[in-house]
Structure 1
């Protein structure tokens, strides 16, 4: 008889702690089920500070708040706590500076230097030299 009582107590405690554990990690479950953009941060807050009522409440409220995503037709609004989305950064596109114009002589010297260092074979050098000279004569 005594062992049945201990088994029943163990089962009761196991179920009790399972229910408490699920309630404890409820904000994390909600955040992951809703695919919240800050679900990993919510999980850290939930695990680290969930033992306090305030930490658990903050994590739950954050997990339940709507997060505005670009391209979404939802008008759920922004939570104001989204750390990694809606960070608008303004920037201006500018044209790159023009490349310096090199003369034909400078380009031939550069190609010859590549040939001497072994970066170009004689056949490659001759082809690039012919292309450079034909382009130089058409510009004049």
Structure 2
């Protein structure tokens, strides 16, 4: 059996480790596109309060912002990208609710938005 006097230090160490990597855990949970850079910055600069705060804000930042920034163009292109994101979100919801099958999801996902209107 383990010594009960080692439980509290071990528990506190695990809690501190989880708190230290909270930005990284959040980024991986949310499938942030920059999750690996967030991990590295968190690992090497997280011990400074400023580094940890930067990582936390970065991990909690809007994920789709990077997609919009990559599609530099007219306002109409941005609107189309937003509608496409909304379409994919609706399709994923229908799939997870069991309303459509995996095959239907694949077909509908590949159909251009303009063809569905």
Q: Does 1:52 align with 2:48?
A: yes
Partner of 1:86: 69
Out of 10, 13, 28, the residue aligned to residue 14 of structure 1 is 10
Structure holding more helix per residue: 2
Q: Cα distance, 1:86 vs. partner?
A: 3.0
Alignment RMSD: 2.2
Equivalences for residues 1-140 of structure 1 within 5 A: 7-68=3-64, 78=65, 82=66, 86-88=69-71
Instruction: Report how far residue 10 of structure 1 moved.
Output: 1.1
* Residues in 2 aligned to 1:87 and 1:45: alpha-carbon distance in whole angstroms: 23
Q: Aligned residues, how many?
A: 72
* Per-residue deviation, 1:85: 7.4
Once residues 56 and 66 of structure 1 are traced to their aligned partners in structure 2, the CA distance between those partners, rounded to angstroms, is: 18
Q: Runs of 4+ in structure 1 displaced over 2 angstroms?
A: 84-90
Alpha-carbon spacing, 1:85–1:14, altered in 2? closer, same or farther (3 Å):
farther
Q: Which has the larger radius of gyration?
A: 1
- Separation in 2 of the partners of 1:20 and 1:85? 36
Normalised TM-score (structure 2): 0.55
CA contact 1:37–1:85 (8 Å) conserved in 2: no
TM-score by length of 1: 0.46
